[in-house]
Amino acid sequence: MNSPHVPLVDDASFDDHVTSSPVPVLVDFGAAWCGPCRALEPVLASIAASHADRVRVVQVDVDASPALAARFKVRGVPTIVALAGGAEVGRHAGVTSAETLLRLLPNAGARA
C-alpha cells in the first residue's frame, strides 16, 4: 500500500505531511486488503510524480490509523479527501481518474 512517490502517513506524521503542507494534498484512505485501493495506487503515484510542484499525495491505512479515518468521517475505502490549507475542499469515494482527482483541488490544474 505504499509507493516511493506516495508516503504512508499515520496519526503521528499526518500533520507534518498534510496540515502544514504549502500545497494542496490528496489523502488516500485505504487498506492493504482492498482491491479497489490497489487499483487506484498507480493513478495516485502518477499524480504525485507528474504534479509534485502543485500537489502532495499521501496514503493512510485505515486499519493502522482508525482515528484519522474517523476524524475525516471515512465510511468506505478507497476514499480520497482533498485538503488545502488544512481544510477539506473535496472528496471522492471509489476508483477514478487522475483528472477527476485533480479537479477536487484548487489551482492544481486538471491536466493528468
d(CA 64, CA 61): 5
pTM, full prediction: 0.92
- Asked if residue 1 has pLDDT above 80, the reply is no
- For residue 38, give the CATH number of its domain: 3.40.30.10
User: Looking at the domain assignment, is residue 59 inside a domain?
Assistant: yes
User: Looking at the domain assignment, is residue 30 inside a domain?
Assistant: yes
User: Looking at the domain assignment, is residue 58 inside a domain?
Assistant: yes
Task: Convert the pLDDT of each residue in 12-55 to its tens digit.
Answer: 999 998 988 999 999 999 999 999 999 999 999 999 999 999 99
Task: Convert the pLDDT of each residue in 46-58 to its tens digit.
Answer: 999 999 999 999 9
Question: Which residue in the block uniquely carries the three cell numbers 490497489?
Answer: 38
Q: Which domain holds residue 59?
A: 8-102
Mean pLDDT of 68-96: 97
User: Looking at the domain assignment, is residue 2 inside a domain?
Assistant: no
User: Looking at the domain assignment, is residue 43 inside a domain?
Assistant: yes
User: Looking at the domain assignment, is residue 13 inside a domain?
Assistant: yes
User: Looking at the domain assignment, is residue 107 inside a domain?
Assistant: no
Query: Mind telling me the catalytic residues?
Result: 34, 37
Count: domains in the chain: 1
User: Looking at the domain assignment, is residue 108 inside a domain?
Assistant: no
Q: How confident is the model at residue 2 (pLDDT cuts 50, 70, 90)?
A: low
